[in-house]
Copies of this chain bind each other. A is one copy, B any other.
Amino acid sequence: MGKKLTSRSEDYSKWYNELVVMADLAENSGVRGMMVIKPYGYAIWEKIQAELDKKFKETGHENAYFPLFIPKSYFSKEASHVDGFAKECAVVTHYRLKNDENGKVVVDEDAKLEEELIVRPTSETIIWDTYRKWIESYRDLPLLINQWANVVRWEMRTRLFLRTAEFLWQEGHTAHATKKEAIIEAEQMMNVYADFAENFMAMPVIRGFKTESERFAGALETYSIEALMQDGKALQAGTSHFLGQNFAKAFDVQFTSKEGKKEHVWATSWGVSTRLMGGLIMTHSDDKGLVLPPNLAPHQVVIVPIYRNDDQFDEISEKVAEMTKELRAMGVSVKFDKRDTYKPGWKFAEWELKGVPVRIAIGPKDLENGTVEVARRDNLTKEVVESDSIAEYVSELLKEIQNSLFTKAIDYRTEHTTKVDSFDEFKEVLEGKGGFIEAHWDGSAETEEEIKKLTKATIRCIPIDAKEEEGTCILTGKPSTKRVLFAKAY
């Protein structure tokens, strides 16, 4: 708390890194690229998990758990899949340590694995190897399974939550009898993610298709949700893949149809990760620290007592107990910060830094007047409220804050979404205010690559609601039928 947070305008990237640590969300560990998720950050992740898990179950999915290690040979069975992940695989080669002649702990060379094991970067291969045993007939389909797990991708340049060598995620893996069903599932899960992002994280997203070069390794179609951060850069917040029959063929997963015919199964996979924490932070937070939407705040309300002596403290505590009971009855989570080791001003600053949506301060004068002071974290306004009606007031206020954060983010995105029709304009916007750029593209991977090379901007997605519209590619002038969404991205 001693240090002051760097402002966003001064250095956005530094602001982010400092905020994550200072708000007690996460920190770097002694292991290269791997983070420690601190209790306050993990409490937010638990809320994300709980809500998503509920949504997955409501849409008919069950959880299961598959091995952390994948034999190298499995991994190689789907060619484009291994190409996509080979460069970032942590490899287990030995299974024992020993003391050498000097008493130093070393790897025991006699305990070398016959076949190396890959620490899962994603689980399609091990799961489809299992599905072969689970799927025999159309009666076994659809198979709708999700796994909450840790995965490892050996990233060279890492950033807390956004890109770490290990991250936590969920990965859904479903098997279907028909292509159509699998596509509907992949779309459904994109929509589940979008709904969660918008209604829980208050983070507006664009739904769309990835271009071929940005697809998941092994997918025929990748759907994604794309959010816009306050620095004008995009964040891919979740993806859902239609995998066709690629993994079913690689792992020989066939089912007997109603008509008695053997057919390969159709697949999807879909995932979101602790990366969402990065999106949450960068969508709402400000120069004073984290700003949390009420739906994901570990404490929605913090109550800070202001007192000079024990008698005052006791009287306040009594009133607080009453208010807390009323607030909890309305489903509001409350923390009474009664630490006597810190002063109120220090506590105010701490809870601002940690993004608690509503702060209530109560002192002897308030007790006399039957009031409390209510401060909103999102717009930093304060209001004096009658303590008798506090539960209804706060309950309404939390809804208002949730909505207001979403509206603010939508407004930001609207202001930072630009239609351009020439490459000069494209570059000008990119170097200026940034954000999403809607532009025509000729549909070729070469053009996409060239634009990326020239500007660092990538096609974030082809929005699912992109209108048919005659146009010409901003780079090549070739004809195009719809605008796609460009941005620089995390």
Q: Which residues of B contact A92 (CB under 8 A)?
A: 90-93, 119
Indicate if A129 sits at the interface (CB-CB under 8 A): yes
**Closest CB-CB distance, A138 to chain B, in whole Å?**
10
Give bound CA distance, A95 to B121, whole Å: 12
**With A82-B97, A90-B92, A93-B107 as contacts: A35 and B76 at CB distance below 8 Å:** no
Indicate if A150 sits at the interface (CB-CB under 8 A): yes
- One digit per residue, 1 when the CB lies within 8 angstroms of any chain B CB and 0 when it does not, for chain A 29-73 equals 111001111110011011000000000000000111111111110
- Contact check, A67 vs B31: say whether CB atoms are below 8 A apart: yes
Q: Which residues of B contact A139 (CB under 8 A)?
A: 341
Q: Which residues of B contact A420 (CB under 8 A)?
A: none
- Contact check, B66 vs A29: say whether CB atoms are below 8 A apart: yes
- Of B31, B96, B154, the residue contacting A126 (CB under 8 A) is B31
- Contact check, A86 vs B96: say whether CB atoms are below 8 A apart: yes
Contacting residues of chain A (132-151) with chain B, CB-CB under 8 angstroms = 133, 139, 145, 149-150
Q: Which residues of B contact A149 (CB under 8 A)?
A: 150
**With A98-B86, A116-B107 as contacts: A36 and B64 at CB distance below 8 Å:** yes
**Closest CB-CB distance, A73 to chain B, in whole Å?**
8
Indicate if A152 sits at the interface (CB-CB under 8 A): yes
**Closest CB-CB distance, A94 to chain B, in whole Å?**
4
- Contact check, B119 vs A119: say whether CB atoms are below 8 A apart: yes
Indicate if A118 sits at the interface (CB-CB under 8 A): yes
Q: Which residues of B contact A80 (CB under 8 A)?
A: none
Q: Which residues of B contact A312 (CB under 8 A)?
A: none
Indicate if A270 sits at the interface (CB-CB under 8 A): no
Nearest CB to that of A40 among chain B residues?
B62
Indicate if A105 sits at the interface (CB-CB under 8 A): yes
Q: Which residues of B contact A27 (CB under 8 A)?
A: 133
Contacting residues of chain A (77-114) with chain B, CB-CB under 8 angstroms = 82, 86-99, 104-105, 107
- Contact check, B105 vs A96: say whether CB atoms are below 8 A apart: no
- Contact check, B36 vs A65: say whether CB atoms are below 8 A apart: yes
**With A31-B70, A36-B67, A63-B43 as contacts: A95 and B91 at CB distance below 8 Å:** yes
Q: Which residues of B contact A69 (CB under 8 A)?
A: 31, 34, 90, 152, 166
- Of B65, B86, B95, B150, the residue contacting A105 (CB under 8 A) is B86
- Of B63, B74, B133, the residue contacting A39 (CB under 8 A) is B63
Indicate if A75 sits at the interface (CB-CB under 8 A): yes
Indicate if A168 sits at the interface (CB-CB under 8 A): yes
Indicate if A160 sits at the interface (CB-CB under 8 A): no
Q: What are 22 residue pairs bridging A and B, where the CB atoms are less than 8 Å apart in the complex?
A: A31-B126, A35-B67, A36-B65, A37-B64, A42-B63, A42-B64, A43-B62, A68-B119, A68-B150, A69-B152, A72-B105, A72-B107, A76-B104, A86-B97, A87-B96, A87-B97, A91-B93, A91-B95, A91-B97, A91-B107, A92-B93, A93-B107
Given contacts A86-B96, A91-B93, A149-B150, 4 further A-B contacts (CB under 8 A): A29-B66, A69-B166, A86-B99, A95-B154
